[in-house]
Structure 1
């Protein structure tokens, strides 16, 4: 630590870990942050989009898509319970960590290790129970890692830079999906090698961020702790903190809308558009590529623009509406060419939403001393819809077909736009 109260070898961090950051982070910080998220998204989304459904189908030994989706949905739904617990609890624990390595870095390292080891063991499973157990452990590692990683935005990035930096959380999501799918399909890695590749690359890409300095919490700065107090702190009253409540509700709704529109896309192409499994995978790759290009452009350009204009709500409202329009198009014009247009609109809307909504979330937190826990609660609104959407989506398709699924996606996305319009403290 230098004489002026900063940590040597990285961005200048105030001794008061609870102070609002004012010094802009540099290129090294942003690059390490972006690479970490690239590894995280590739390791989480490649299994969700490709490896896990294929592994489940291999165990069930049936081509009946409803049975496969329901089994996938049950496993995802159970893993959602892990996310609901792991996100806020590990966020709260990182808020109180007094390690000499900082508050967040120990949890980033531990989460990455748990995530990677669980993926390796998941690739070895030959029973549905084993698949369920190790996917739950993998998602728990994901939650531990990302709860701490997300909190570094509030800890170290000033408000007028958060839209741009959050874009580097969002853009790697699209790149990670396409990179993971390409790696597994083009190299024909199979189940175990696919999971192993994701595990190794996760560690490789997260490691550089562990060398970014992290302000140390002194024991004297840590508030008294009790189990009851921590449990009570997991409830944030929407009446007392309405902006936090509306932002959380908006995030839940929009992420459900996006998840309904994307998690069953492979099944839509294969069974809704009546394509062969091989052709469906090729078309999924094309749609994902289109989606990726628009997510990256929207996240980086519109995230930065929201910083320049000092406005968040209008961008979140517009992004949610674009996703609703994309879902409506898919519902009523089920053609591959139209799906390509919808993929572009969905990517544009979701890329903007991911970047700007993350920046908005950091500005409505109730207490600077509990940023990790509060952002952990916010992160539930991202992970749980992704986990529950396959099962709920399968039920919707069973009841009302793919058109009903996409109409529901549109309703959820637009409801999210309405919810964010109720936020008062942020423009």
Structure 2
């Protein structure tokens, strides 16, 4: 089966490795999602002081969209370069370290900005660092984790994601001060939590390294033929659709509470809703990821996870209220936690070339990063065009269902 790479069946992965891996992702998600959910839109809104909230969402969407364009280039480029790296510090570690420092620098500079253009430039810089770090860190799964453990280990990407959101938002609410202090705190936490993983071994695989990287070979390598590798293509399409549906449901949640429901205490309720989401993401990502490993099945779990998210979006579209927001958050968390862990394991098993795992996973990561980046802008347009949030959540449900259908077309993985 493709995608097994150097992580052969039977290889042990230690508790220390998993703990450091999970801690690193906790720092990554706190530094990326807490600004995206709260600090960045609030910063943009304060600078614009628009007459209508949609203008603020559009500006936020443009900033996030520009960062998404950066990720399209940086993810596969970092993966391809790290595939070819043979240093005394390992193959992935130099890129993890460089990405961490660049990400932290972008956050610190972001806190100093006083206009929307500066905010956009510095957020793009931070996201470039995030992509460099994330691409190299994700590739260590294919490098070091045996296939029969990848569902469980991948759960330690999604569980820290949920916890990172809530801890990051709670930290920002606790500080309740100027943006610079919040960004500085997130940057410091990022560095502190990634460093332990950098102290672990980073083995370099035996055999020949991939061909030298040139602009032409890079561009050519970004195209993975759907005809030759249909499982990769269907997994990629499914990931785009499900992540887009999830991003529609979550990225505008603050605006839904504040303007859709007229919630006067939207910031606090956002934290409470996120807590519910977190509990279900953590539980489902770890438990269902491990169950997927034991059963040796991936597709059925991805389908069920996608349907759970579609149901959550439909409930918000039909019965928009704060209590339904809590129910929907539980269903989204249940589905997305399962999806993140099992789909990541599935992705590592459909990679076309064992020598280019970093590059191919970088392409796969685009399917997660870009929907998150463009969803605020597209979502704001849908809210304006369809006359409210109900239409947005119906589109979210449709995307999740389409993603479930796409993954059923994968044939090489059960």
Shorter chain as denominator, the TM-score bin is over 0.9
The reply to whether residue 173 of structure 1 matches residue 161 of structure 2 is: yes
Partner of 2:229: 241
* 1:87-121 CA distance string (max 9 Å, x none): 00111000000111111000000000000001000
- 1:188 Cα deviation from its structure 2 partner: 1.2
- 1:186 Cα deviation from its structure 2 partner: 1.8
Q: Is the 8 A contact 1:21 1:155 kept in 2?
A: no
Instruction: State how far apart, in whole Å, the 2-side matches of 1:221 and 1:390 are.
Output: 40
Partner of 1:93: 81
Instruction: State how far apart, in whole Å, the 2-side matches of 1:343 and 1:220 are.
Output: 47
- 1:228 Cα deviation from its structure 2 partner: 1.2
Instruction: State how far apart, in whole Å, the 2-side matches of 1:386 and 1:393 are.
Output: 11
The reply to whether residue 109 of structure 1 matches residue 93 of structure 2 is: no
Instruction: State how far apart, in whole Å, the 2-side matches of 1:100 and 1:231 are.
Output: 28
- 1:222 Cα deviation from its structure 2 partner: 4.5
* 1:49-75 CA distance string (max 9 Å, x none): 011001101110236210100000011
Partner of 1:354: 340
Partner of 1:336: 322
Quickly say closer, same or farther: Cα 1:21–1:58, change in 2 above 3 A: same
Instruction: State how far apart, in whole Å, the 1-side matches of 2:71 and 2:61 are.
Output: 15
The reply to whether residue 227 of structure 1 matches residue 215 of structure 2 is: yes
Aligned residue for 1:24, secondary structure, equals coil
Quickly say closer, same or farther: Cα 1:164–1:218, change in 2 above 3 A: closer
Partner of 2:403: 416
Q: Is the 8 A contact 1:330 1:342 kept in 2?
A: yes
- 1:190 Cα deviation from its structure 2 partner: 2.8
Quickly say closer, same or farther: Cα 1:172–1:290, change in 2 above 3 A: same
- 1:217 Cα deviation from its structure 2 partner: 5.4
Instruction: State how far apart, in whole Å, the 2-side matches of 1:18 and 1:392 are.
Output: 38
Q: Is the 8 A contact 2:61 2:375 kept in 1?
A: yes
Instruction: State how far apart, in whole Å, the 2-side matches of 1:411 and 1:222 are.
Output: 40
Instruction: State how far apart, in whole Å, the 2-side matches of 1:359 and 1:269 are.
Output: 34
Partner of 2:355: 369
Q: Is the 8 A contact 2:209 2:355 kept in 1?
A: no
Structure 1 stretch displaced more, 331-340 or 213-222: 213-222
- How does the TM-score come out when normalised to structure 2? 0.97
Matches within 5 A, 1:68-79: 68-79=56-67
- 1:261 Cα deviation from its structure 2 partner: 0.2
- 1:241 Cα deviation from its structure 2 partner: 0.2
* 1:141-186 CA distance string (max 9 Å, x none): 0000000000000000000000000001110000000000001102
Q: Is the 8 A contact 2:113 2:119 kept in 1?
A: yes
Question: How many corresponding residue pairs?
Answer: 409
Structure 1 stretch displaced more, 63-72 or 203-212: 63-72
Partner of 1:403: 390
Partner of 2:272: 286
Instruction: State how far apart, in whole Å, the 2-side matches of 1:225 and 1:323 are.
Output: 40
Partner of 1:80: 68
Aligned residue for 2:38, secondary structure, equals helix
Instruction: State how far apart, in whole Å, the 2-side matches of 1:118 and 1:20 are.
Output: 34
Q: Is the 8 A contact 1:24 1:161 kept in 2?
A: no
Unaligned runs of at least 5 residues, structure 1: 1-16
The reply to whether residue 390 of structure 1 matches residue 376 of structure 2 is: yes
Partner of 1:27: 15
Partner of 2:295: 309
Q: Is the 8 A contact 2:6 2:144 kept in 1?
A: no
Instruction: State how far apart, in whole Å, the 1-side matches of 2:217 and 2:249 are.
Output: 39
* 1:357-381 CA distance string (max 9 Å, x none): 0000000000110000000000001
Partner of 1:146: 134
CA RMSD of aligned residues (A): 1.3
Partner of 1:127: 115
* 1:376-422 CA distance string (max 9 Å, x none): 00000111000000000000000111000000000001100000000
The reply to whether residue 42 of structure 1 matches residue 30 of structure 2 is: yes
Instruction: State how far apart, in whole Å, the 1-side matches of 2:398 and 2:178 are.
Output: 37
Matches within 5 A, 1:249-260: 249-260=237-248
